Amino acid sequence: MDYHKIIIVDDDSTSVFYAKDVLSEIFFSGEVLSFDKPNDFLIYYNDNKHLFIGKILLLLDINMPLKTGFEVLIEIEEEFDEESNMDVIMVTSSNLKSDIEKASRFINVIGYVEKPLSKKKLEDIFNAEH
């Protein structure tokens, strides 16, 4: 995984703990940031996007009380194109077909995994074992 930074957006602290644990298990050496409020992430993103260097991976929860993961994606979607530097993995307790369908329409969504995130699930994505 050649990411410079990984950002976790999830309101559930246990899930954030699991995700960070997995990232240390795979020896991710870049910066890891987490936000429990989607709006805090959006403020951070808008204030800092011009400063981002290298690729960024966003681990994004879908079901959050203040704003869903899809609403977050819609707010930053204008920045998404084939050249954008942000990849997104939806990490969610939802396995609703409609959510997978919705996620697949965002071109930066490269993975969809059910919680809890694990090393195996992350490796399956990056080894293209779909």
Residue ranges that bind another protein, judged by CB under 8 A: 82, 87, 97, 100-101, 103-112, 125-130
Task: Give the nearer residue to another protein in terms of CB position, either 50 or 130.
Answer: 130
Task: Give whichever of 47 and 82 is closer to another protein, judged by the CB atom.
Answer: 82
What are the structure tokens assigned to 122, written together?
């992350």
Q: Which is nearer to another protein, 14 or 104 (CB)?
A: 104
- Minimum distance, C-beta of residue 111 to another protein, in the bound complex (Å): 6
At its nearest, how many Å lie between another protein and the CB of residue 98?
A: 9
d(CA 2, CA 120) in angstroms, rounded, equals 18
Rg of the chain in Å (alpha carbons): 13
Q: Which is nearer to another protein, 64 or 109 (CB)?
A: 109
The Cα-based distances of 61 to 83, 95, 122 in angstroms read: 24, 12, 15
CB of residue 27 to another protein, shortest distance in Å:
19
| Maximal C-alpha separation, the chain | 36
Nearest to 92 by CA among 4, 19, 41: 19
Q: What angle do CA 58, 102, 57 make, to 5 degrees?
A: 10
